[in-house]
Amino acid sequence: MIRSELSEKNPYWIERHRYHELKQFCLQYPIWKKTYESIDGLLGRPADLSTFGKVEHISNPTERIGIMKAYYSERMDMIWRAAEKAEPELAQYIVRGVTEGLSYDLIKVKMDIPCCKDVYYSAYRRFFWILNKERD
């Protein structure tokens, strides 16, 4: 669903298309997490590694696994860092919201978030503003 754009006067305003790009970036988090955890179980066979993306050909399987784990870890950490900077006490709720596409109401029901909707969405907008800076 495409919602109306924030006013350019809002301190956390980012261009609408950039916001949607960042939102889609965050929605990939479960895929990254699953892939990151799956890499642990690999024996390092080239056939296994090709399943998880294109990494330049590196003959050392341990090195390839390390590079792939670093790639996924960096992205997941970026989301957590931005959430912590936005509002440390709400970081876990922000991460669940942006990575699972959950609204405030669903987070309230599932996790009993300890703030009102206005506070959450202010932190949510700040999160995307910070993530925008980190992704540059």
Could you report the per-residue pLDDT of 53-97, keeping only the tens digit for each? 555 566 788 888 899 999 999 999 999 999 999 999 999 999 999
pLDDT at 1 over 50: no
Sign of the C-alpha dihedral, residues 92, 98, 104, 105? negative
Give the up-direction half-sphere exposure of residue 58: CA atoms within 13 A in the CB hemisphere.
14
Q: Span 3-24, mean pLDDT?
A: 82
pLDDT at 17 over 90: yes
What tokens were used for 11?
């301190």
- Identify residue 118 by its one-letter amino acid code: D
Q: Span 96-114, mean pLDDT?
A: 96
Backbone angles phi, psi at 5, to 5 degrees: -80, 150
pLDDT at 42 over 90: no
- Return d(Cα 117, Cα 71) in angstroms, integer: 34
Could you report the per-residue pLDDT of 116-136, keeping only the tens digit for each? 999 999 999 999 999 999 998
Nearest to 71 by CA among 39, 24, 27: 39
The DSSP call for residue 103 is -
In angstroms, how far apart are the furthest CA atoms of the chain? 53
What tokens were used for 107?
């987070």
